[in-house]
A and B are shown apart, each in its own frame.
Chain A
Amino acid sequence: MSTLPPGGFQAEVTANQTTFATPAEDGVAASIGITSRTPAQLAWKRFRSDRKTMAAAVIVAIYVVLALLAPVLVAAGVLDPYLTHQNLIDSNGLPVGSFGGISAAHPLGVEPGIGRDTLSRIWLGLSLSLFISASAAVFAIVVGVVLGIIAGMSRRWADTLIGRLVDLVLCFPQTLMLLALSGLVVTWLTGTLRIPSGTTAQATYVIFVLGIFGWPSVTRIIRGQVLSLREREFIDAARLIGASNGRLYFKEVLPNLWAPILVQFTLILPAYVSAEAALSYLGISVKVPTPTLGNILSASIQYGSSDFLYFIAPAFLLVLVVVSFNLLGDGLRDALDPRTQR
């Protein structure tokens, strides 16, 4: 509908317009003692010189490793997010001891109420939240990229059709739809698709709906990129030697889109971590006892006054995840798109 970019951070359009040095320029450069660099090397150099982004990348890497380790540690019995410790809870339902019941066995204390280990829950919750967000982001990116390429490459009705579909999906109120569809879709998932009810069905629902409402913005950005790519000589060349549409779309165009895809993925993922938390608060994401960052945070906000550590720890972790991913995404975009000067 709108001719404007969608709101939010994604409005800052990404691009991968790297200029390639011609052989002649290379020769000149070599003769005056300048080494030539590939676009990837240039991007890496920009990326590395950006300390903020490097820090974010390190934190993200640590998070990913921690998230991958969590299920292993739970299986090995090192972390136990489900075992209750009633003996560590006083008569008011609050943890015994100072700072939310910190001890060697429970470095972040125990959960008020039934005394599950906070660290274990947050750790496994982080793992599940990242899994859900990453899956939803992959879903949105795959659908968005495929439709974006088709829309950008075809000059006729397919472009119009996809454009209108994007408009249609974008005019649905997202939070409202997520809320309204939850009951229906979960029933459908467990009934028709025979997905086990409980955590699996709830997680599938969140991934499904976030993806369904997430792809249009990706499609818009990818389409814009494809519009400029399709005028390039290598596309004409491929067409001339008789390449099929499938080959043109996915062998010629797609590899040139890795930069915006990577940037989009890094920016969508933290948005989905937040979205999962919001859905948890509305009671339509994965439910306790299975921990996610969202449902831990939704439970912990009731203890603002009484158990400050339990209140602040999940929020701090969530903010750190979202901020680092956003910083990484911004940094990647700056590195891969030299024209943006921010």
Chain B
Amino acid sequence: MIAFAIRRILVGIVLLLAMVLVVFVLFFAAGNPARDVCGKYCTPQKLANITQVYGYDKPITYQFGQFVKGLAVGRDYPVDDKYREALQKSNPSLVIHCDAPCLGYSLRSAITVNDAIAKYAPVTISIAVYAFIIWIVFGVLFGVIAAVFKGKWLDRVIVGVTLVVYALPTFFVGTFLLQFIAIRWKLFPYPRYVSIADGGVFNWLIGLTLPAMTLALFYMAAYVRITRAFVLESLSEDYIRTARAKGLTERVVLFKHGLRAALTPLLSMAGLDFAALLAGAVITEAVFSYQGLGLLAVISNRNSDLPILIGLVIVAGAAVLAANIIVDILYAFVDPRVRLS
């Protein structure tokens, strides 16, 4: 068991490094990041200066090594050793230390990538958790109802609505909620993010409701369908017939025998989907202008702020990898066949 877990984690680390390498090569193929920050009145001299001070003139293998080292033990900016030491003496406040795991430094925003992500992450995490709760609760609920009433009108209505909701683009749903529910019909206060520290739990929840609903609707539709399929599949198993033959009530058959088998794979799937959201619900955040990681990505893309984009991709990939590993290990606990294969 422990050997299995260690193997999984090692493979995960190798994959993460491979991902960092791919991202690094992809983005550096684009050219010198210093050019994007050099500004309107860029002179070759100024460009060369920035390039050197931030180490963009070094070979990419060296830069990659430095980046990985930063991830492991942290690093200091500016990168050029001599320049930094001189700066340390003349103007120590301009030397920036970036703690491990250091994801880089954005010249454009003059902030370490870690700080940028830390600043934008709370909004994303709040929306993701809220949406996750909505979509799991209602997705599973409607999915089970549809499965139990298979073929009846209730099932048809649920499946039909689900199909349409699944097809609606997130930005359309979000804009609809914003324009009609919040602005035109005033059924809900205009969505604005308020942190718990500023406005308390209630205002925090109110501010998050519409974005979380926007995000949750799509996943909810998917989960209704998946739950329905899983429950139908598990209800057609032999042990369900056995349970019924034993004379158990329909409620016990459904909740104790049917759902348990159906929901285990569902929850692990949900774990992966949730992890993927931590990279930022790009579209939802853009629709509601919420200062989350998704919006940070949109802004950084507009500004060609490569270090932040690289950092976001790595954080997102790490979240998905970590979720994968956790799910796999939990699964190995439950099902010995997994760990033996």
Chain A interface residues toward B at CB < 8 A: 1-4, 7-9, 11-12, 164, 167-168, 170-173, 175-177, 179-184, 187-188, 270, 274, 277-278, 281-282, 297-298, 301-302, 304-305, 315, 318-319, 322-323, 326-327, 341-342
Bound CA–CA A86/B155 (angstroms): 49
Q: Is residue B291 contacting chain A, with contact meaning CB distance below 8 A?
A: no
Assess the A274–B324 pair: CB atoms within 8 A.
Answer: no
Supplied contacts A12-B226, A326-B167, 8 more A-B pairs, CB within 8 Å:
A7-B269, A172-B316, A173-B313, A180-B297, A183-B30, A188-B29, A305-B179, A341-B236
Bound CA–CA A278/B167 (angstroms): 12
Q: Which chain B residue lies CB-closest to A326?
A: B163
Chain B interface residues toward A at CB < 8 A: 11-12, 15-16, 18-19, 22, 26-27, 29-30, 163-164, 166-172, 175-176, 179-180, 183-184, 222, 225-226, 229, 232, 236, 265, 268-269, 272-273, 276, 279-280, 282-283, 286, 294, 297-298, 301, 304, 309, 312-313, 316-317, 320-321, 324-325, 327-328, 331, 338, 341
Assess the B280–A176 pair: CB atoms within 8 A.
Answer: yes
With A1-B12, A326-B167 known as contacts, the answer to whether A342 contacts B232 (CB < 8 A) is: yes
Of the residues A11, A172, A179, A183, contact of B297 by C-beta under 8 Å: A179
Assess the A176–B175 pair: CB atoms within 8 A.
Answer: no
Assess the B22–A168 pair: CB atoms within 8 A.
Answer: yes
With A173-B279, A175-B283, A319-B164 known as contacts, the answer to whether A298 contacts B316 (CB < 8 A) is: no
Assess the A9–B225 pair: CB atoms within 8 A.
Answer: yes
Of the residues B276, B328, B341, contact of A1 by C-beta under 8 Å: B328
Bound CA–CA A52/B27 (angstroms): 47
Of the residues A11, A180, A281, A319, contact of B309 by C-beta under 8 Å: A180
With a 10 A CB-CB cut-off, give which of A4, A318, A327 has the most chain B CB atoms: A4
Of the residues B163, B167, B170, B282, contact of A179 by C-beta under 8 Å: B282
With A173-B316, A173-B320 known as contacts, the answer to whether A341 contacts B283 (CB < 8 A) is: no
Bound CA–CA A171/B15 (angstroms): 9
Residues in A whose Cβ lies below 8 Å from that of B226: 7-9, 11-12
Residues in B whose Cβ lies below 8 Å from that of A270: 167
Of the residues A182, A187, A274, A282, contact of B282 by C-beta under 8 Å: A282
Assess the B229–A12 pair: CB atoms within 8 A.
Answer: yes
With A172-B313, A278-B171 known as contacts, the answer to whether A3 contacts B338 (CB < 8 A) is: yes
9 chain-A/chain-B pairs, Cβ below 8 angstroms: A7-B273, A11-B269, A179-B282, A180-B312, A184-B26, A281-B286, A315-B168, A315-B169, A323-B163
B57 to chain A, nearest CB (A): 20
Residues in A whose Cβ lies below 8 Å from that of B283: 175, 278, 281-282
With A184-B30, A304-B179, A318-B167 known as contacts, the answer to whether A2 contacts B317 (CB < 8 A) is: no
